[in-house]
A and B are shown apart, each in its own frame.
Chain A
Amino acid sequence: MLLYLQKIRKGIFCNIIIPFCFLSNGMGVSFMFPAYFITKNQIIMENDKKEESKKTPFSRMIMDDFMLLMFLGVTIYAIFYLLWGVMELSNLPAIPEEIKAALLK
């Protein structure tokens, strides 16, 4: 019985972590997309001969635009590291009353 309960507890953890990972994978893929686009797709599509187009490829435009890169770098860092971290630190609960009561009775 205990083992089963422990499994459920682990399952709850699983249910938080794994879906989050899928979510983050999704987000990650959308970030990886430019990286993929630049490295993998170009490698795979190398045999497709594209004629010299007047406008530069999208990924090259991003690569050359350092102000855009700065904006993206600062934003990704600010959201995932700073904002998310600060939000978590601001939302911590207090020590549960039962624990305090057991000691201070």
Chain B
Amino acid sequence: MMLAKAVAPVLCAAALLPACATALESAAADPAPRQDALVFTRIPATAESAAVELPLGSHIARLDLPDAAHPFSRITNLTPDFAAAGRPDISFDGQRVLFIGQRTRDDCASVWEMNADGTSLRQIIAGSAPCSAAIYVSTIYTLDADEPVYQLAFCAGPGQVVGLNEPGAVLFTPTAALFTCRLDGSRIQRITFAPDGVSDPYLLSDGRLLYTGRASLFSVNTDGTEVSLFAAADATVARCGRPCETADGWVTYVESGALVAVRRARSLHTRRLVAAADEGLYDSASPLPGGRLLVSFRSRTDLSYGLYVLEAEKGVRNLLPERPEGCFAQKVPDPFFRRVTCLVNAPEWHELDGHVLGPRPIPAGRSSVVSESSTTGFAYGLNAYLSDTKAGQHIAPGEIRRLQVFRAVQPADAPSVRSRTPSAELLGEVPVESDGSFFLEVPARVPLRWQTLGADGTVLQAMQSWVWVMPREGRGCIGCHEDRELAPPNRFTLALRAGPRRVGIASPPEQSPPPAAGRPESIGAGGGAGPVAQEPELPLYVGQAVCGECHAPGCDGGVCSIPPVPAHAQACSVLDNPESVEIAALSGITGEPRRSVICLGCHAAAAEEGPRWTAGTFSLADGVQCETCHGAGSLHIAQPTAGATLRHVDRLMCGVCHRELPSHAMVLEKGYVRSPVDAQYKTPVNLAASPDGARLYVVCEHSNSLLVVDPATGAVQREIPVGLRPNDVAVSPDGRTLFVTNRLSDSVAVIDTAAGQVVAEIAVGDEPHGVVLDTTGQQLFVLNTGENSISVIDTAARTELRRLAAGCGPWSAARTPDGASLYVTSVRPDLGGFCEPYRSEITVIDAARGIVRNRESAPDANMLKGIACIPAGPYRGVALFVMMRTKNLVPTTRVAQGWVITNGLGLLWPDGRVDQVLLDQPAECFPDPEDVAISPDGRYALVTSGGSDQVAVVDVEQLGRSLALPDQLGLSDRFVLKRLKVGRNPRSVIFAPDGRSAYVANALDDSITVIETTGFTVSGVLDLGGPREVTELRRGARLFHSADMTFAWQFSCQSCHPDGHLNGLAMDIEADGIGLRPVDNRTLRGILDTGPFKWEGLNPTMQRQCGPRFAVFFTRLAPYPPAELDALVRYMCTIERSPNRYRPADGLTPAQYRGKLVFERTSDNSGQPLRPEQQCLTCHNGPYKTAQINATARSTMWLDERMNVPLAETGLPGSKEFGDLGIFFFADTGVRPNLLDVPQLSNLYDSPPYLHNGGANTLEEIWTRFNYTEAHGLTRDLTRRQFNDLMAYLRAL
């Protein structure tokens, strides 16, 4: 690199300005910041070790570049009153400068802040610990805070660190460490505990901190968690330091005088030399707009460092069109810097640490689980045999027996020595499970390391570095010396199942055991046949007029003690009001309120039973009437003296309906109404092309229509109304007929393309999603996602031929090139064993015979959505499908390394083999892959990422050659050529029949992105005509589908809630402790009125659930701002329930009605009265069948037995297998509430598995397997037929 030697103190000014101005336009809208100034450190050139220490005479200088008012550049000393000052950092608004300063030569270097012009000087940190650097940090949020707060981070030590604005806040550090505090210096927290010392903190755009430790770069969260190696020097003697990140995702740092860059996403595998040290030395760098760098540089011939601008080489390589055959694709250009412009270089000064004085984007805020109420944290290894080192790979399974845990002990003397070797003190020893796992509870904020031992005590592997855990942190590792680009395999380890072993922690005082799980006295108390249960006669509703014949005033039958209430009589008619429509919309109700069982449940009588069970004298319009409370009265009429035929009523029963419902309050009290604009959105979710490519058929979910679009002009030629929530479209081979699935109408609309209208509607199964035709067009295959089946339709007769069993949630389908087979993906995994790895099915259909030929499995993969077959080329016939790999069995920690969800592609080979690769990279994911399309020549595949608004361009040949490493992050560099930014929430993608273009349906932009496929660039956007205005609901929908709110863009809300529903998995989240118990996912459909939320029922509102808690335990970024949170919640309230397929239109079947009577019974089969806790209605009442309380469900299984439930003392046979689900459920508050939220039962049928930990695969199992102690309702006296009836009723709710 040729460097121009500076010949004047200030040489160039114009080089900086234009680009700065351009780039900073997008920064935060702060008031008129100056953008033509630099702030930097000036150190006398005579000083030694200028880059390390701040010698006397150092000061913060400000360089003002020329402007209209000041034609000459000026340099100002901002810290004239300091003996030494340096290491400035600019606040995010560009108004203030943070720096290290010494007032006098005897002072300790500490942290100061001043305005950008040197005024308003204030000290923030004091103490005896010398500070070496300080930076501004974005926000941090914890559950005990009201809102996110901004922070500072600084390096200090050894010595005492004193927060000036918080009396008594003194921390001692034996070595240099990284600290955080609030902007005023309060709440000082030490966040690094390595005994080796740290320096050079830097805040990455994703909110992580970088620092230098042990000559390498480490990343750590701003709460001190998840410390991890970020980059290491190329040579052992080299040292990494002074990192900075540029806008293109590269992190540049100085490595022994050279300038080196790594990609933030793959920092350990992308090291590039930006500028070698052979022509001079670099000291620091900071980003400039336009991808340039502001560097401190000293040439070999120069005595002092100066500030220079490095510019990227123009026309960097893009290897896509001209790449040599067989060469791995290079998706991101290397950062080649060629031009160097000197800004300032005074011979008597070193100019270091230059920063542009102006506003800059605020990096992501973070959320934290760290709690000061705890003094311990957790460390767990998933598999000690998994190692990236040769030594570790030779350890035979079973060889590791124990684990020794050491802590670092600093020598007590000479605390002023900066770098000392600590000694190791043995804290304890724990066994390693047979699967190589271990799980420790250890003291927090203590440097730790461990080593594995064999049976004879031989040390097999030993850590060389020190790690720590923060209070309540769960720190996990995959293996000993794991590959840092490896996501964890989804396995529930023995150690996590057994619970943590305490090491170095005093045992807690003995607690008195909780009460034993109650064993019903009647169990084992002798049998004896009771009366045989007779099938009940089913009563009809007769109506209030009939009741009044005996119960009117003056009649013999007595009069109701509740005086007539006019509102009761009008209860049904009010459902026709506009407000009722709004309330219904907020309750997830499709259709009119007057037809909703939920609405009618409180507004009328006979709502659940339906018209089939009403007499001619009954009128729904009478609203709330006698039988609303007392039940159907026909049997009472037949036997007036038999009181048992009517339900006993007390005033407590009024509360079943007279309760506060947020939906009603929002509409009736707060006046909420939806914007008319909301009804105008299109939301394109799938599209298809006509055989000649002249038309695009776009399925619009929100507008319930199909758009016919001319791709050449972008004109919407026709909008054809179809059914409710259309999802997919299939085009007949002749192009004359379209078949559109209507997800909430459970039908397929048949469209005549010539007539441009629906000509028939075919009833299919529950929630049809995908649809595909065979090559002849004679058989149509409709994927009924809601009921796990595939309807085979005769297209000529337009009738259903048969219904095939599919995987769980069949979603999308593709034809093989020869048309012989169809592949169908499944969005949910098969229901497997408790805490066992899951698999998802790809159903293979014999297209000619119309039956299932085979079923292939994708292990550890879920959310199998879009699928396409490679039509040509060497991989012809291979199917590609998008998928996620949700890690539900490992704790949801280490978000950066794929410990929650990874996303990728599956390859289904013709022989049935399934390979998987990831599209994610470490700390930069490809969230919510939705669809895949393959070019007609079979060379390229396009994959949409609904959560990050991207389309990945995949080289199919390279993909086919890649190793199938399903958990390897970063592998996608080998086959992903590009990642294109498209519209919001891209769903479907198709290639035009001629392959020259591709189209992407941007669901939440109401647009179609057109991609030209020669260079794979975006060539245009087709507007589908949705409104420009973004309403609150629309904004909420975008937030719901965006991964922007998740650290590393790992997932969005819909990653676990497709269609607002669920993914069928129970996950090990941190809220209730690591490894103790999984928590079953719950649907979001129609949940507004079902609070409290979450299984512990600790969140009274959805705002609480979706805001703070979601941030702390899931996304790890700052929670949504209030306005965004409201929008998100508002959107979630409108997610609709699907129509209940078990419920006939005319009401309950006889079996369901019988089941309802069982559900509502107050005595058992022998006539003995049931206690309230034994009755279903006690907890499951009201319109949603939840009392909206927390209760002790006390279903039983082995899981909690480990938690000292003394079931063995109960004498139950096989007591080791039992425990109590409800008793030992840890809340994040650390308490044992003994209670669980009573779940709502609406549409219960479509949300398996059941129970709070997902232990029951079916409804029946809740009672047959997990109700041993009869604490979840009394069911043991039920006959099998009664039990089946009860299940039938529950499914009809």
A binds B: no
Residues on B lying within 8 angstroms of A by beta carbon are none
